[in-house]
Amino acid sequence: MTAIQTKEIELGIGHFHLKDISCSIPTGKITSIVGPNGSGKSTILKLITRLTKQTSGEIFIHDKQANKYSLKKFSQTVSMLPQSKDGLPNLTVKELAAYGRSPYKKLFEHRLTKNDEEIINRAMEMTGMKKYEDRLIHTLSGGERQRARISMALAQSTDILILDEPTTFLDISHQFELLEMLKHINEKFQMTIVMVLHDLQQAAAYSHHLIAIKNGRVQAMGSPESILDSQFLKEIYGLDAKVQFDGEFPIIIPIMKNSRRN
Ligand SMILES: Nc1ncnc2c1ncn2[C@@H]1O[C@H](COP(=O)(O)OP(=O)(O)OP(=O)(O)O)[C@@H](O)[C@H]1O
């Protein structure tokens, strides 16, 4: 089953061109989009979430054209967590999570129903943020802030969650904590998760499916085990390296040109 399908998407922005982006994102799985800086990954997420419009081609969400959804219905189907460089209003964790209920409200309606409260509480419990519900966002650590943002996305009650570089600015243990949390959410609720990740090892370890982009084109697609090898690293990143799998976790060993021991 396919949650998202893009068909022959083309888009030009200044000197940059996305060309013939055709890919399928499986339902209930974790898919990561990987590729070098500036290859077009975030632009693809913006197209899927209707923040940018393609010049040609079509995007389907659950087999229905994305632009045929009303804005409200779309926001009840797809939630997007942009890169965390954007500032957040100084709200409490609970107030931020409550924003996730906006697609279910009428214009200027702010009152939370009992059902909204239950969904917001569940979202904060899923991310471990319930105990911080009254804390102001600006007093949280980077990892906690990211989990608060995810609480808001989860309170949106969508079956597709899209995240752009969710581990940026987190230390290695908080990166893994966040990825474990997303894996748990995916397994428990069969939520379709799509993310852009820069760390290829993490992307491969935590994703069922990888889409590799280079110069605005899809260069490779498939399970991490089927596509991640030396040839892939050379073709996509121009990197000379070996790949070994330790169980599901790939270890990328770059071939160093100059040993510091010489
Ligand atoms: N609004 C814009 N105006 C002009 N160029 C843009 C705009 N948005 C994106 N681009 C260009 O499109 C290209 C792709 O950008 P995009 O952010 O999709 O890449 P990316 O793969 O997500 O990069 P990174 O890994 O560095 O975040 C870049 O060269 C970028 O400068």
Asked whether residue 248 is domain-assigned, the answer is: no
pLDDT score for 22: 96
Please give the Cα distance from 221 to 242 (Å, whole number): 20
Question: How many folded domains does the chain comprise?
Answer: 2
42 lines ligand 1 (CB under 6 A): yes
Paired with 4 in beta bridges are 25, 61
Asked whether residue 195 is domain-assigned, the answer is: yes
Both 197 and 126 in one domain: the answer is no
CATH number where 54 lies: 3.40.50.300
Both 168 and 56 in one domain: the answer is yes
41 lines ligand 1 (CB under 6 A): yes
Asked whether residue 52 is domain-assigned, the answer is: yes
Atom of ligand 1 at shortest distance to CA of 35?
A: 21
Asked whether residue 253 is domain-assigned, the answer is: no
Both 164 and 148 in one domain: the answer is no
Question: Which residues have a Cβ under 8 Å from the Cβ of 235 and sit 6 or more positions away?
Answer: 214, 219, 220
Identify which of 10, 34, 39 to mutate to test ligand 1's pocket (most ligand atoms within 8 A of the CB): 39
Asked whether residue 255 is domain-assigned, the answer is: no
Both 14 and 125 in one domain: the answer is no
Both 3 and 73 in one domain: the answer is yes
Asked whether residue 98 is domain-assigned, the answer is: yes
Asked whether residue 243 is domain-assigned, the answer is: no
Both 138 and 47 in one domain: the answer is no
Asked whether residue 102 is domain-assigned, the answer is: yes
15 lines ligand 1 (CB under 6 A): no
Both 91 and 153 in one domain: the answer is yes
Both 54 and 42 in one domain: the answer is yes
Q: Which domain holds residue 116?
A: 87-157
Both 167 and 148 in one domain: the answer is no
3-state secondary structure the chain: CEEEEEEEEEEEECCEEEEEEEEEEECCCEEEEECCCCCCHHHHHHHHCCCCCCCEEEEEECCEEHHHCCHHHHHCCEEEECCCCCCCCCCEHHHHHHHCCHHHCCCCCCCCCHHHHHHHHHHHHHCCCHHHCCCEHHHCCHHHHHHHHHHHHHHCCCCEEEEECCCCCCCHHHHHHHHHHHHHHHHHHCCEEEEECCCHHHHHHHCCEEEEEECCEEEEEECHHHHCCHHHHHHHHCCCEEEEEECCEEEEEECCCCCCCC
Both 140 and 207 in one domain: the answer is no
pLDDT score for 82: 87
pLDDT score for 108: 74
- Ligand 1 centroid to residue 42 C-alpha, Å: 7
Q: What is the pLDDT along the chain (262 residues), one digit of tens a residue?
A: 899 999 999 999 999 999 999 999 999 999 999 999 999 999 999 999 999 999 999 999 999 999 999 999 999 999 999 887 656 778 999 999 999 999 998 877 778 899 999 999 999 999 999 999 999 999 998 889 999 999 999 999 999 999 999 998 889 998 999 999 999 999 999 999 999 999 999 999 999 999 999 999 999 999 999 999 999 999 999 999 999 988 888 999 998 777 666 5
Contact call for residues 75 and 102 (beta carbons, < 8 A): yes
Both 96 and 201 in one domain: the answer is no
Which residue's CA is minimally distant from atom 31 of ligand 1? 38
Both 120 and 97 in one domain: the answer is yes
